[in-house]
């Protein structure tokens, strides 16, 4: 799965391929329709399409002499799931940061929990302080 993701993200490194995917997000299109906005030959566009197909991001169907392309749900979903995993990890990190900042604002100390390696709030240290 990671090898396929590497191929997919590598395919997205090129701005022409990203533009092609953006166009296909509106619906399927033929090679000539996809080539129209670009100042490049039909074979050059076909090479970009080949890269996107090998990355699993688009598929083609046969319609007589035409070969319209469309987005490949499985390839897009795989990337989305991987990105969702990263978003979830970031949310957890931000939640922990919010906890630490809230504890700092309320004057509580935080100490790392040896089992989870997360900071836990403790009561403020009042030893040696006069009331």
**pLDDT tens sequence across 58-95:** 999 988 888 999 999 999 999 999 999 999 989 888 88
Q: What is the mean pLDDT of residues 85-112?
A: 83
User: How would residue 105 be classed by pLDDT, with cut points 50, 70 and 90?
Assistant: confident
Q: What is the mean pLDDT of residues 90-116?
A: 78
Question: How many Cβ atoms are within 10 Å of 11's Cβ, its own excluded?
Answer: 22
Q: What is the mean pLDDT of residues 88-116?
A: 79
Residue 127 pLDDT > 90, yes or no? no
Q: What is the pLDDT of residue 109?
A: 63
CA distances from 98 to 35, 79, 86, 118 (A): 48, 28, 18, 12
What is the three-class DSSP state of 42? helix
Q: What is the pLDDT of residue 64?
A: 86
CB-based contact 68:28 (threshold 8 Å): yes
Please report the domains of the chain, with CATH numbers, ordered by start residue: 2-71 (1.10.10.10), 88-122 (no CATH)
Q: What is the pLDDT of residue 7?
A: 93
């Amino acid at each position: 799965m990671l090898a396929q993701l590497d191929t997919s993200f590598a395919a997205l490194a090129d701005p022409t391929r990203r533009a092609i995917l953006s166009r296909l997000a509106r619906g399927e299109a033929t090679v000539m329709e996809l080539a129209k906005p670009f100042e490049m030959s039909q074979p050059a566009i076909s090479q970009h399409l080949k890269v996107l197909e090998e990355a699993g991001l688009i598929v083609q169907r046969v319609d007589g002499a035409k070969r319209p392309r469309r987005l490949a749900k499985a390839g897009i979903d795989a990337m989305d799931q991987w990105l969702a995993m990263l978003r979830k990890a970031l949310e957890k990190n931000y939640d922990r940061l919010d906890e630490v900042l809230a504890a700092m604002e309320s004057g509580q100390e935080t100490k790392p929990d040896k089992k989870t390696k997360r900071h836990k709030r403790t009561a403020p240290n009042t030893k040696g302080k006069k009331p």
